[in-house]
Structure 1
């Protein structure tokens, strides 16, 4: 019997702490250079260690959710749910996730998503929004599996390294 090593990767999801800031800065920079699925190119909108410390502190104080994923005692990804501060939109949160390419396919993104949905449902958040590149089929399939629906398409929203324009899909999950 052939064993799939991916089945044995243990990963833990936990809240980010200020001591994670240095590694978060480094892995965000690395992830941005590994994929075009995200909004940024490597180095754009760079957040240094102090910036991440402040973000983690602000998130804790404002009831946002900032999670890190660990595999083999190493941070390999993270996600954030940012609540909308405006009263008319206070029922919503924006979700985003990043995972090192080396760790794609291990269920880390799925686990971060599941924890974020649980947090939202437990904290009175009625709607989670996200955006995803139209070519990111695996992510779109995952989001749909967890109750997200396509709410709109931003046509020719971004240009990638091949010089072509691609659509951004806007998705949302409403918890009644």
Structure 2
């Protein structure tokens, strides 16, 4: 297996992140966006990264291999009475599926959560994305419900499973 490097995103990564999101969006129908990527400018992405880097309960990791981004994962923390929770998101380029990158990113985010007093990690996953669900379950996530018709693509509705990892158990 070739080496890859996981590190926190910086504003100078913005342009490559935008290009990466367009690439990964065009490779799978499991994401909430397609090959158009996200409707965001480089400047807006730079500002987003600056803001996420300031927040104690949020992080954006990017995976680099041979100078290119091949994956990303984020924890988006909440504030005030929900500051013990964060929302998890992840994507990996299709050519790297099955190479352990998703697991490495998930482990990194769980470690970040533990170090920053995040007790619950929530995620939504298309309920037919069996590979992703298997990985989430392997790390202790459990299904807590289903959101019907979470998104609609080409006239077809897709349900998403809502999953949570409860890190409070490990503190007892």
Q: Please, what TM-score do these two structures have when normalized by structure 1?
A: 0.89
Length, aligned pairs only: 167
Q: Give the aligned partner of residue 170 of structure 1.
A: 162
Q: Distance in 2 between matches of 1:55 and 1:137?
A: 31
Q: Distance in 2 between matches of 1:90 and 1:47?
A: 27
Q: Determine which of 73, 81, 90 is the counterpart of 2:75.
A: 81
Tell me whether 1:62 sits opposite 2:69 in the alignment: no
Tell me whether 1:133 sits opposite 2:126 in the alignment: yes
Deviation track 1:10-54 (CA, whole Å, cap 9, x = no partner) reads 111111111111100111111112111011233264222112211
Q: Give the aligned partner of residue 23 of structure 1.
A: 16
Structure 1 unaligned segments of length 5 or more: list them: 1-7
Structure 2 unaligned segments of length 5 or more: list them: none
Q: Give the aligned partner of residue 3 of structure 1.
A: none
Deviation track 1:37-79 (CA, whole Å, cap 9, x = no partner) reads 0112332642221122111100111121110001223211111
The answer to whether the 8 Å contact 1:29/1:46 transfers is no
Q: Distance in 2 between matches of 1:103 and 1:21?
A: 21
Q: What CA RMSD, in Å, does the superposition of the two structures yield over aligned residues? A: 1.3
Instruction: Find the residue that maps to 1:82 and give its secondary structure.
Output: strand
Tell me whether 1:90 sits opposite 2:83 in the alignment: yes
The answer to whether the 8 Å contact 2:23/2:37 transfers is no
Moved over 3 A (4+): none
